[in-house]
Amino acid sequence: MQEKTLNFVVRTNILKIMKAKNLKPINVIRKNNYKQATFYRYLDGGRKISLEKLEQISKILNVDCKLLIDRNLVVKTINKIIIQGSDVQSNTKKQI
C-alpha cells in the first residue's frame, strides 16, 4: 500500500470537515476571496496547499491547523435537540 502524501491527507481532512459542517466549496471561496478554480484545484490535488493557505483554510473552517494534517482524523456529526419551555424558573429541559 502506497503511503499517502501529506497534501492528500490535508485535502481529505478539509473535505471531511466541510461535509460535517455542511459547507460547500463556495462558502470557503467567498470567505477568503479565492478564485473558484484555485480552490477546486486544492481540493482535487491539482495544486498543493501551502502552509499559509492551510492556516487560512483552518481559520475559515474554525479548526486547529494540526487537525488538517492528522493522518488519523475522525470527524463525527452529532445532532442534539434541546427543547426548553419559556418558564426559565422551572428549569424544564428535555433532550431527544
Q: Is the pTM of this model over 0.85?
A: no
Instruction: State the DSSP H helix or E strand holding residue 84, giving kind and residue range, or none if neither.
Output: strand 82-84
Catalogue all structural domains in the chain, each as residue range(s) with its CATH number.
6-83 (1.10.260.40)
Residue 95's pLDDT band (cuts 50, 70, 90): low
pLDDT of 66 reads 93
pLDDT of residue 7: 92
Q: Distance between CA 15 and CA 23 in Å, rounded?
A: 9
Task: Cell numbers for 53, please give them.
Answer: 493557505
- At 91, the pLDDT band (50, 70, 90 cuts) reads low
The 10s digit of each residue's pLDDT in 8-67 is: 999 999 999 999 999 999 888 888 877 889 889 999 999 999 999 999 999 999 999 999
Q: Which residues contact 62 (CB under 8 A, 6 or more apart)?
A: none
Distance, CA of 50 to CA of 34 (rounded, Å): 14
pLDDT of residue 80: 80
Residue 86 reports pLDDT greater than 80: no
